[in-house]
Amino acid sequence: MSSTTVRKAIIPAAGLGTRVRAIAGDLPKELLTVAAKPLIVHAIESLAASGVRQIAVVISSAKESIRQFLLGEPPEYLAPLLDTHLRVLLRACEFSFFVQPSPGGLADAVSLCRDFIGDEPFALVMPDNIMLDGLPVVSQMIPFFSREPQDMVGAIRLQPEEASRFGNVGILETEAIPGENHRLLRVSHFSDKTGDPLSVPAGTSVLKNFGGSIFLPHFFDYIEQCRSQAEGELDDVSVIQAIIREKGLLAVVLGGNGFDVGSPAGYWAANLHLESK
């Protein structure tokens, strides 16, 4: 198997979903709908359209309904969402499920999939980041990865009026790459998560990590390296920062309208955007 071929993906779906609990109630965030489709279905459709059909889904013990839904055996209250088209899509994918025993952070969740990934590159897709009006995130990234097989993240450019719909983690500082167009950049800094809302000064814009990433299998080594230094949950930020320092990281500037639907503002903005079309 070529090291530039992306066949496998990880979808983290074990989080508590506290930001949208007022909307989702007891429903797992990943089963909230946008355009009449659960968020996790948007992620799976985007992967399948990118030729990636071996998918690891990380859930918690409280989210067995996600496993049931993706295996075509949903609880009765979710059955109306599982139409014929979706059943065909799900049957075309090969799912492996991993249970994160307790909230341990995104990188901890990803670490459960090490044996599943093996020595291949993989896509990491966030189900609460959806791209509308554009090619799927991974489809946009794969041509760049095929040419430059390095760790890379998706990114979107945010204007001041869009800032309130997004979290503040993963703001990128980048450098141009000689001979490349403006869509492929080298990342020099990846911001930490803070308690402050994201703010973009008037007349400026920021580049933010969004949607998905493609990582080489050494990502798992960096998880373990960072685990020994972590206090509390093991997030992916420290892992990505270590990769920037030691290996280098690229960013693909994505086309389309991106929405962080893991926040109430982003969730309603995505639905309003669709209603306005």
Task: Count CA atoms within 13 Å of residue 158 on its CB side.
Answer: 26
The predicted-structure confidence for 119-142, as pLDDT tens digits, reads as follows 999 999 999 999 998 899 999 999
Range of the domain at 237: 8-275
Whether residue 1 is contained in a domain is answered as no
Choose between 273 and 54: higher pLDDT: 54
Whether 75 maps to a domain, the answer reads: yes
Task: Work out the average pLDDT over 164-177.
Answer: 93
The answer to whether position 2 is within a domain reads no
In a domain, 206, yes or no: yes
What whole-number distance in Å separates Cα of residue 52 and Cα of residue 141?
12
Torsion of CA 244, 249, 255, 261, to 10 degrees: -40
Burial tier of 193 (Cβ tally within 10 Å: 0-12, 13-18, 19+):
exposed
Cα 273–Cα 18–Cα 60 angle in degrees, nearest 5: 110
Task: With respect to residue 25, please indicate whether it lies within any of the assigned structural domains.
Answer: yes
- % of residues, the chain, pLDDT over 70: 97
Q: Specify which of 43-47, 73-77, 193-197 reaches the highest per-range mean pLDDT.
A: 43-47
Joined tokens for residue 161: 């009026």
Confidence category of residue 77, pLDDT binned at 50, 70, 90: confident
Q: Which pair of tokens denotes residue 202?
A: 């008037």
Question: What percentage of the chain exceeds 90 in pLDDT?
Answer: 76
Terminal Cα distance for the chain, rounded? 42
Query: Has residue 113 got a pLDDT over 80?
Result: yes
Higher pLDDT, 276 or 191: 191
User: What CATH number corresponds to the domain at position 248?
Assistant: 3.90.550.10
Q: Tell me the mean pLDDT in the region 229-240.
A: 90
Q: Model confidence over 18-34: pLDDT tens digits?
A: 777 667 677 899 999 99
Token pair in block for residue 18: 């506290």
Would 22 be classed as within a structural domain? yes
Where residue 17 falls among pLDDT bands split at 50, 70, 90? low
Both tokens of 52, joined, read 């990636």
Q: What is the mean pLDDT of residues 58-84?
A: 93
CA 38 to CA 127: how far, in whole Å? 9
Q: What are phi and psi of 122, to 5 degrees?
A: -150, 155
Q: Kindly state the average pLDDT of the residues 101-109.
A: 94
Which residues fall within 8 angstroms of residue 222, CB to CB, at 6 or more apart?
239, 242, 243
Per the prediction, the chain carries an average pLDDT of 93
In a domain, 3, yes or no: no
Q: Is the pLDDT of residue 108 over 50?
A: yes
How many domains is the chain built from?
Answer: 1
Confidence of residue 91 (pLDDT cuts 50, 70, 90): very high
**pLDDT higher than 80, residue 252:** yes
Model confidence over 141-162: pLDDT tens digits? 999 999 999 999 999 999 999 9
148 and 184 Cβ atoms separated by less than 8 Å: yes
**pLDDT of 226:** 95
Residue 65 lies inside a defined structural domain of this protein = yes
pLDDT band for 1, please (50, 70, 90 cuts): very low
What is the per-residue pLDDT for 40? Answer: 96
